[in-house]
Structure formats: C-alpha cells, structure tokens
Amino acid sequence: MGELGELGELGTVMQDDAFIELDGVEKVFDVRKKTGFLKRERRQVRAVDSISFTVARGEMVGYIGPNGAGKSTTIKMLTGILTPSGGRLRVAGIDPSRERKRLAHRIGVVFGQRTTLWWDLPLIDSYKLMHRMYRIPDGRYRENLDRLVELLDLAALLDVPVRQLSLGQRMRGDIAAALLHDPEVLYLDEPTIGLDVISKAKVREFLREVNAERGTTVLLTTHDLQDIEQLCSRVMVIDHGRMMYDGPLAGLHEVGESERTLVVDLERELPPIDAAPARVVKVEGPRQWLAFPAGESAAVLVARIAAEYPLVDLSVREPDIEAVIAKMYVEQTEGAERAVS
Ligand SMILES: Nc1ncnc2c1ncn2[C@@H]1O[C@H](COP(=O)(O)OP(=O)(O)OP(=O)(O)O)[C@@H](O)[C@H]1O
C-alpha cells in the first residue's frame, strides 16, 4: 500500500498495473566545449524533452529512434544512474534516482555494448557474486540458475572466463545475469547487437518465454527492427528527445503511409497487371511485384487478380519498418523546416 499511497499523491487516478511511469520527464546536459586557447563555450543538450508514457506490468515495449535520440538517457534515468532535470518518474512506485539500491533488486539491465560480468572470472563466478550481491535466497538462486542455464544453453560455458566467450555467448551470459534475481522489469539496450542470425533467434525466443512465463515487463531499445517486429506489439519512437509515436506496431505503418507488396507468379510472362490502386513496381519473367497501400485489403486485391489472370502462386510482403520510420523522420523534419521558413 505504501507504494500505491506514494503514487496517489499525484492526485491522478493511476492504473494498478502502470509499472513504469514517466510524466513530462526531461534531461538536460551541460556541455562545455573548448573553442580556442583558454576559450570554452557552454551549451545545453536537451537529451530528453518532456517525455510521458506508462508501461503496464507484463508489457513488452520497443523504444526506438535514431542515434542520439535520447533512448539510453531514458534507460539510465529509469535505473537511477541519471537524475531527471524535470518531470516525474516512477518504476514500481519507486523514484529511481532517490532509491537506486532498492530499485536494483527489482530491475534487470542488459547493455549489449558492454558487459556486467566480471571479465577475468569464469561465468559461474559472476553468478555466485550476484547471488551474494542481490542476497538471492539459496533455493531461488539454484532454481533460477538451473532454468537459465538450460534455456540459454550455458552449461558448457560456466567455467569459461568471460573474456574468452564469443559475443553471442557473452550476451546470453549477460541476460542470465540480469534475470538471476527475478527482476520484475528488464531493460534491454541493443540485446542482439553484433549477433549472428541463430544467436539472435535464440535470444528473441528466450525473451518471449521469460515475458510469457514470468510476466516480466520488458523495455527494449534496439536498432534491429526485427527485434521489435518479433517481440513487441507496442512501440514508442523518439527523436531529439521527444516522443513521436506511441502505439501498436501496425499503426506505425499507417503513420508512415507505407505500402505492402504483393508478389504474384503467373503461368507465363504477361504485360504488367492492371489492378489499381496497386501498381506494378517490378517484373521478372512470369513474376510481378505490385505495391499497394498498407491499409488496403490484400484479399480483395488477390481475388481481383485471380479472376482475371492465370495465377500460380503469390505472397504478401509487409512493409519494411525501417523505411517507414525513416519516412516519418523525413516528414517531421520537413514539417519543422516549413514551420520555420
Ligand atoms: N553525459 C552526457 N553529457 C552530455 N551529453 C550527453 C550525455 N549523454 C548523452 N548526451 C547527449 O544526449 C543526446 C541523447 O543521447 P542518448 O545516448 O540518450 O541517445 P540514444 O538514443 O541512446 O543514441 P544511440 O542510439 O546512439 O545510443 C545526444 O545528443 C548525446 O550526445
């Protein structure tokens, strides 16, 4: 009740399951730049600019944006490493920067670009240290370790010093480390960076399982949009520290006015198919590619083509999210430029 009481102070009606909560959060960095001999220029960088969102318990949400958008800064504020310059932030009812240690027992963090494991020690020794650091009850530790070792295929790696592990092996080791103490929320910052296709698939499958089995809330930052496509039904897009989109992944396509592609195999080579609003964008022998608005029904289009053309096979390709997001950025920038001029 203590935590709910604390949330209640706001005077707003909060959902019980709002596990992560940001309200007008800002982070401004003071940057000093040397501009000449004895000359320094002071500048402010608004890394996070009035961001508000809530994430419910058990949700798996993608947090994406271009380089320098403010993603890592947000994650650092959510762990308590950085203190916000303004706004209100709570994770499990806790103010992260004020009670960083208390929160540490409830969150797990994986930074793809750096490890939380002890570099020179065998993997198992890092886990033993975490067992003590987080004061994980012995039975729970054993149980979690066994389960994580099995799910992440770590048995053969436990006695190997971390520095000798491949990137994919180390990443799996790091993910296990982040989950040993049963965190309720997991922040993942580029968890599949640099991994090969098989390792990526393993990590994604594991994350899906953890989320489904334990109800772990996951906030996922990545440049790999397949991570998002395969794991998250909701996605938040930020740029220049501001929230640009928060909603279902499918909606992102609509915002970006994207197109889907219908690939049809005909019995023989024929002139380009006439099926507006779809338009033929490529022809290779009897195969034709037709682009059509993502919001249009593929079934209707297929039925029309099948009625008029000798169809052998077909497939529908979803739009490339990367292109959709790039288009969104361009539209935003052009809009801002128009507003200025
Ligand atoms: N400690 C700091 N001091 C000054 N500026 C900073 C600091 N940390 C981040 N910034 C600036 O804040 C902005 C947001 O950075 P942040 O690392 O949060 O972006 P990001 O979205 O995580 O980018 P990337 O995808 O490249 O990791 C950038 O302009 C960055 O240069």
Question: How large is the greatest C-alpha to C-alpha distance in the chain, in angstroms?
Answer: 78
Cα separation of the two ends of the chain: 53
pLDDT category of residue 255 using cuts at 50, 70 and 90 = low
pLDDT category of residue 330 using cuts at 50, 70 and 90 = low
Cα–Cα distance, 90 to 97 (Å, whole number):
10
For the chain, percent of residues with pLDDT exceeding 90: 54
pLDDT category of residue 2 using cuts at 50, 70 and 90 = very low
Cα–Cα distance, 10 to 256 (Å, whole number):
36
Contacts of 238 (CB under 8 A, 6+ apart): 51, 63, 64, 65, 69, 70, 71, 74, 244
**Residue 81: Cβ within 10 Å count:** 14
Query: Above 60 in pLDDT, residue 118?
Result: yes
Q: What is the pLDDT of residues 23-41, one digit of tens each?
A: 999 999 998 887 777 778 8
- Find the 19 Cα to ligand 1 centroid distance in Å: 25
Q: Please work out whether the CB of residue 67 comes within 6 Å of at least one atom of ligand 1.
A: yes
ipTM score: 0.96
- Find the 287 Cα to ligand 1 centroid distance in Å: 46
Q: What is the pLDDT of residues 91-106, one digit of tens each?
A: 999 999 999 999 999 9
Set out the domains of the chain in order of their start, with CATH numbers. Answer: 15-252 (3.40.50.300), 259-318 (3.30.70)
User: Closest ligand 1 atom, CA of 66?
Assistant: 25
Query: Above 70 in pLDDT, residue 74?
Result: yes
